[in-house]
Structure 1
Amino acid sequence: MDITDFFDTFFEEAEELLADMEQHLLELDVEDPDSEQLNAIFRAAHSIKGGAGTFGFTALQKTTHIFENLLDHARKGELALRADLVDTFLEAKDIMHDQLNAYRSEEEPDQEVFERICQTLQQIALEEIGEGLEAAEGAPIANATSSSSSSDTKAAPAKEAPVEEASGADDSSAASGDMLNVTLINVDEKDRILLVEELEQLGDVKSHSGDESRYEVILQGNTSADDIEAVMCFIIEPEQVEITAIEGEAPTPAQEPPQAPEQATAQEETPAKAAEPAPKAEKKPEKKPEKKAEKPKTKKAAAESSSIRVSVDKVDQIINLVGELIITQSMLDQTVSDLEDANSSLQNGMSLLQRNARDLQESVMSIRMIPMEFVFSRFPRVVRDTAGKLGKEIELVTEGKSTELDKSLVERITDPLTHLVRNSLDHGVEMPDKREALGKPRTGKLILSARHQGGNILIEVKDDGAGMDRERLLAKARENGLNVSDTMSDEDVWQLIFAPGFSLAKEVTDVSGRGVGMDVVKRNIQGMGGRVEIQSKKGEGTNTRIVLPLTLAILDGMSIKVGAETFILPLSAVLESLQPAKEDMYAMAGDDVVLKVRDEYLPVIAIHEVLDVENAITDPTKSIAVIVQGEGRRYAMLVDELIGQQQVVVKNLEDNYRKVPGISAATILGDGSVSLILDITGLHRLSRAKKASGKPVSQQNPTYFKEAEPS
């Protein structure tokens, strides 16, 4: 049996445990620490240590072991917490994360960093508790004054035995100690064989028997039930293992006085075993809080048992198949609608198929949807670290953490959002003394929020800082050679910060000032089919809004016709449609044409000219103007006909053909034909490029437009 088959499971679960650990550390009140939070942090370290030892990840096991012992002192009240100690704990967590990634990449972790963090934790123990833990180069800790330390040393896997000898353990230790009944419930034969092999490394397996529904293993040794459970749960679910002590089997002090050290070890393990009585009365007070602390873990495990881990590739394959099913259903629906004398039962069957296919599609798509909490959970650490570097006091507020977004978008939005947050912390929120002088609270506020808006998700990064200075932005833009004017709207001025190389920072720091990042943020968001908008008021703060589609796999679109071609416009970008009047069309002094809509002049994009579509309507007053929005601007797109609204399956054009300017993707219609999905901002850029290289539209068709320019 190859134990490496379970590496991925360990890596995923350890990643989650480290994330939980960081969250609890950030929420910890050092003045009045919550015992449940301390226990949760301790349990996370304990579980990672158990799995790391099982799989032979020595550096990770030793680091978590030392960290776990220090946490044990903290949760017992023997170590007084301070902000700087929490910072060190967070650093230890980061190093454990780096070690985990190293093992995931089949590399050895940085030995120098490993030794440094172990020595740092040891120094804390010496200064704060008055006792050392053990040098980083040594074995897992065997601290006689810490019950957790002694039991955990005995819990190390057999592969660590040569090193364990330094702490007084020998090969005979596994042959004596507690008798435990480890029961495996509903575990298949493959996993049972592997689990028995692992138990043999944790103690002496006396017997094992049973079937798939219930398989019992009698184990004798000094490994605690908690350690055994931690190891087992990297292979099976928590509810699939039951561990109970077998009373009367282990030696007692009266029977074998020479075994007192072993009895002390057994006694120290009692807090982790709810079913085993403590041998000594003075240990009873420690047993109760331990038992109480374990209850949330059991409940959480039971709640999580209803979920399964599925490869993203498998989910994507199902989504692709459902997409093909939707296309086939559309084809059948088209065929039935073309029949003059279609049977009513056939039509009813098609309607039912359409409803079922839509429900199936929505259910499958929901599998890929995950809450924004996965994104927001990393920002307490980002805000804490960045504010510390800048010397600012900032409170982070998150709203709408349960709002769901497609997994692929969640992964891609994290980096742009991180840059926007750091930008608000650096350029937005003022220094505490300055805020106080302005009559503001010393502590600035940063709000991260997410909510659904129609078929999109709206993510906001809002601060109560200084806001943007319009005149300063314009001056900097002119200095950088950008084409700006004093008549620009505030919305256009705020968009200047997304220009490449644009920065208002007076000096370069490790936070900002190089003029890179914001342009990448905008490009990445546009690459996800979204847009970014900015609202700001000087002295009151800035609100950066990101509007994204809920998923990139399915699109609600508006079918339009230009000549004989059918195109799809993203419905989220369509605002309204109207019949242009000649008196509302204006030819600008150049190559642009605009349409006046309620005192607003919108650039006109004639799709038939931009995409070279033949036999299209060329008279704008006989076309339909679809008002759309892209990159925060509105445009009037001239089309021949509106066909209707429909949901389409998005097919990546670059993967199947090549990148086409003005086109974002493609889809397959009900009649089997391919329809292109239009990219609004890309069409506008393509339109301007074509006009710059040829004769202006206003000169090609001078009778269509008024000669006067708008005032």
Structure 2
Amino acid sequence: MAETHQEGGAGGDFDLSQFYQIFFEEAGENLDQMEQMLLNLNLETADDEELNGIFRCAHSVKGGAATFGFADVAELTHQMESLLDRLRRHELQPNASMVDVLLESADASRSLLARHQAGDEGEAMPTADLVKRISVLAAGGTLDVPKAVAATVVAPAPKPVAMSQPVATAQGLRQLEIVIGPLEKPEQADAIQELFRDIPGLGTISPVVSTQSSLKIFHAETSSTDDDLLDLFAFHVSRERVKISARVVASPAKDEGFGFFEGAAGSPGQVAAPVDSKPVPEAGFGFFDGAPGVPSEQPDVIAAPAASSHEVAPMVKAAVKQNPASAAQPEAATIRVAISKVDQLINLVGELVITQAMLAQNSRALDPAVYQQLLTGLADLDRNTRDLQESVMSIRMIPMSIVFSRFPRMLRDLAGKLGKKVEFVTQGEATELDKGLVEKITDPLTHLVRNSCDHGIELPSERVAAGKSESGTITLSASHQGGSIVIEVRDDGRGLSRTKILNKARERGLDVSDQMSDADVWQLIFAPGFSTAAVVTDVSGRGVGMDVVKKNITALNGTVDIDSAEGYGMKVSVRLPLTLAIMDGMSVGVGEEVYILPLSSVIESFQVKADAVSTVGQGSQLVKVRDEYMPVIELEKVFQIPRFDFEKSSDIMVVVEADGNRVALLVDELLGQQQVVVKNLESNYRKVPNVSGATILGDGKVALILDTGALVRRSRH
């Protein structure tokens, strides 16, 4: 179907496939935005702006799909648009069934678009049933009504009436005259006829002889709005060259007072026969509440109000004012760049940082009086390199709202499946995190949120019995703390049961005792296969998940902490570094080796006297710092560093913090602070204990970046 548009009319030599990727990205964004607005829609007090925003998203996807020839997507989104159009015109009252079917339609549209993006591989997803359900709702019906239902006769009321036959003609066909021109090549307008031929449900069109050779005139019968048609035509002819007006259709019944003049828009010539085929005498077109023919009673049969010649012009003007702004705003504010190009740019900046460090190190021996200009230039290079690095790194940083936005829909479906009522609250959506980390943190967060809904939040009856509100609350928050980002998942559910966890651990043969601290007991749930669920469901209960969560987060140099109070709720805190590419570090020397400590983990450094260090059981050492004792770790022993200068002894300690605990690292000297480019050690060599990565120093040597979290855990064991 896509080739059809590329061959017709003015697009004969124009390949639309070059714009496919842009369309797929924009369609995905529109579907995501529509889903978010549907989830936030208040069914009782839905305002026009909310409904119009949802309508615009569906309209944008439909217009693009029709242009590129994706007929299945265009047909589905056209039906969605018809339902949304009636909602925004207040001809229907939104309800939960409509939200459900629109969300399902958005999912189906994504599936269809993904298939087209993959080159139409695989079997197409059937949408006939979905289209039918949307049609029923758009006609004012309900989904639980049997297919064969007799016409329902109700007393006149402002509410819409369920129609017995939700067919295509019920959308309200409009008779239009379309004038295109003047054009230098009038044959360009012939492509318009192909649109009507190729897009199902668009309507019919026929050419009319024109007295001017530069003009093309068509008569069309369609249910689409002027805005829809202008968007479709814009890919073949300029919008300014298109004039759409209501076509006067003679009325066969002259005595029925359905308008002020014969043949006016909305006259009986455009109204389908009533279901019971009984004539309606002296029907006043909407002059009195409940009068026969009022739009609220037969909204799907009477021609759309926009067919009136008095209403077409304002409608087109409004579209011209709104659409360019809404379409141009994202393009003006952002630019799409392949992530591979950003990664390449970051690698180049990393090499620049290494080169700058090399120049800075080699210039230390120069005489400032002789090489003042050179040293000034190197200082400027240092400052500009740092600014460039921060700017480039900010390109990779994306807000956490990208991750948070997927959870409302997931929770809505999961809570409905479990019979629970859940309110979802997000905080700190603007907090930014490196894109590489965002992609890897999404799955662990998804499991934590599902875990809170399934295990944490109680059923409404249980919550009421416990003196709580029926609806539970799950809060997802993100915030910056030093050089890390902390993401918390909190719920006000039942919390963790210390007794259940200990009993389950004993059943599994784990070494536990009643004297264990709460923090150590909570850590037991991260054991592989550990689950306290009494019943295994398709949601959880198999013990697979929490161990994977911790494994994935630990692989990102992050940590997971749990805080819980039985009967009141639970909080899971995930701490991650802001980025994995470039960081500020403190270089320390031990013997002939140089190590890098993440500057965000360094608390302080000091020179220590031998009598300040105390030796306790099993050779462990403690140092007293301002009335606080903390473990001492000798890096010389940890990494088995050979020492050739036997007279030299380590007397400098660097206090580092990780996982909420502090240790003192014993080193020979402090070499200074610098930016370092983090290189993955596993991909280039193998996993090394107590080391998180490596970097290249200014003199070309490789220095190991220490894993402060692993060193802290080492001291605890």
Amino acid at match of 2:92: L
Partner of 1:303: 329
Partner of 2:475: 447
* Displacement of 1:48: 0.9
- Give the stretch that moved more between structures: 155-164 or 29-38: 155-164
Please state if 1:49 is matched with 2:70.
no
Partner of 1:130: 163
* Displacement of 1:75: 1.9
Match of 2:204 among 151, 169, 178: 169
Deviation track 1:515-556 (CA, whole Å, cap 9, x = no partner) reads: 111111111112222212222222222121111122111112
Give the direction of change, closer, same or farther, for the CA distance of 1:417–1:290 in structure 2 (3 Å limit).
farther
The whole-number CA distance in structure 2 between the counterparts of 1:500 and 1:683 is 24
Amino acid at match of 2:227: D
Please state if 1:565 is matched with 2:593.
yes
The whole-number CA distance in structure 2 between the counterparts of 1:539 and 1:556 is 43
The whole-number CA distance in structure 2 between the counterparts of 1:617 and 1:481 is 50
Please state if 1:4 is matched with 2:17.
yes
The question of whether the paired residues in 2 share the 8 Å contact of 1:580 and 1:623 is answered with: yes
The question of whether the paired residues in 2 share the 8 Å contact of 1:393 and 1:432 is answered with: yes
The whole-number CA distance in structure 2 between the counterparts of 1:465 and 1:611 is 46
Give the direction of change, closer, same or farther, for the CA distance of 1:168–1:327 in structure 2 (3 Å limit).
closer
The whole-number CA distance in structure 2 between the counterparts of 1:450 and 1:29 is 26
Within a 5 Å distance, the mapping from 1:46-445 to structure 2 comes to: 46-108=59-121, 110-111=123-124, 113-125=126-138, 127-128=141-142, 129-130=162-163, 132-134=165-167, 143-145=170-172, 169=204, 172=206, 226-227=227-228, 230=231, 243-244=239-240, 253=248, 280=308, 284=311, 297-304=323-330, 305-341=332-368, 342-445=370-473
The whole-number CA distance in structure 1 between the counterparts of 2:359 and 2:337 is 32
The whole-number CA distance in structure 2 between the counterparts of 1:645 and 1:493 is 39
Deviation track 1:65-90 (CA, whole Å, cap 9, x = no partner) reads: 22221222222223322223212211
- 5+ residue gaps, structure 1, are 135-140, 180-204, 208-217, 269-276, 692-711
Deviation track 1:86-106 (CA, whole Å, cap 9, x = no partner) reads: 122111111111112222222
The whole-number CA distance in structure 2 between the counterparts of 1:155 and 1:20 is 35
Partner of 1:215: none
Deviation track 1:457-507 (CA, whole Å, cap 9, x = no partner) reads: 121111122222223222222222222233333222222221111112111
The question of whether the paired residues in 2 share the 8 Å contact of 1:53 and 1:157 is answered with: no
The whole-number CA distance in structure 2 between the counterparts of 1:635 and 1:59 is 62
The whole-number CA distance in structure 1 between the counterparts of 2:552 and 2:415 is 26
Give the 3-state SS of the residue equivalent to 2:580 in structure 1. coil
Give the direction of change, closer, same or farther, for the CA distance of 1:28–1:595 in structure 2 (3 Å limit).
same
Larger fraction in helix: 1
The whole-number CA distance in structure 2 between the counterparts of 1:166 and 1:76 is 21
Amino acid at match of 1:336: S
Give the 3-state SS of the residue equivalent to 2:239 in structure 1. strand
Give the direction of change, closer, same or farther, for the CA distance of 1:387–1:632 in structure 2 (3 Å limit).
farther
Partner of 1:194: none
Within a 5 Å distance, the mapping from 1:589-668 to structure 2 comes to: 593=620, 595=622, 605-615=633-643, 622-630=650-658, 634-668=662-696
Percent of residue pairs bearing the same amino acid type: 48
The whole-number CA distance in structure 1 between the counterparts of 2:315 and 2:39 is 23
The whole-number CA distance in structure 2 between the counterparts of 1:620 and 1:482 is 46
Amino acid at match of 2:528: P
Match of 1:551 among 568, 572, 579: 579
Give the direction of change, closer, same or farther, for the CA distance of 1:542–1:448 in structure 2 (3 Å limit).
same
Amino acid at match of 2:163: G
Give the 3-state SS of the residue equivalent to 2:363 in structure 1. helix
Q: RMSD across aligned C-alpha pairs, in angstroms?
A: 4.2
Give the direction of change, closer, same or farther, for the CA distance of 1:82–1:684 in structure 2 (3 Å limit).
same
* Displacement of 1:296: 5.4
The alignment's TM-score, normalised by the length of structure 2, stands at: 0.76
The question of whether the paired residues in 2 share the 8 Å contact of 1:661 and 1:686 is answered with: no
Partner of 1:477: 505
Amino acid at match of 1:642: L
The question of whether the paired residues in 2 share the 8 Å contact of 1:532 and 1:546 is answered with: yes
Deviation track 1:80-138 (CA, whole Å, cap 9, x = no partner) reads: 2222321221111111111122222223575454223223323434524416555xxxx
- The size of the alignment, in residue pairs, is 622
* Displacement of 1:655: 3.6
The question of whether the paired residues in 1 share the 8 Å contact of 2:422 and 2:473 is answered with: yes
The whole-number CA distance in structure 1 between the counterparts of 2:392 and 2:660 is 32
Give the 3-state SS of the residue equivalent to 1:61 in structure 2. helix
Give the 3-state SS of the residue equivalent to 1:33 in structure 2. coil
- 5+ residue gaps, structure 2, are 1-13, 143-161, 179-188, 253-261, 272-304
The whole-number CA distance in structure 1 between the counterparts of 2:504 and 2:707 is 31
* Displacement of 1:10: 0.8
Amino acid at match of 1:615: R
The alignment's TM-score, normalised by the length of structure 1, stands at: 0.77
Partner of 1:707: none
Give the 3-state SS of the residue equivalent to 2:45 in structure 1. coil
Partner of 2:519: 491
The whole-number CA distance in structure 2 between the counterparts of 1:436 and 1:166 is 51
- Give the stretch that moved more between structures: 470-479 or 108-117: 108-117
Give the direction of change, closer, same or farther, for the CA distance of 1:477–1:583 in structure 2 (3 Å limit).
farther
Give the 3-state SS of the residue equivalent to 1:612 in structure 2. coil
Give the 3-state SS of the residue equivalent to 1:318 in structure 2. helix
Give the direction of change, closer, same or farther, for the CA distance of 1:438–1:554 in structure 2 (3 Å limit).
same
The whole-number CA distance in structure 1 between the counterparts of 2:164 and 2:624 is 78
* Displacement of 1:59: 1.9
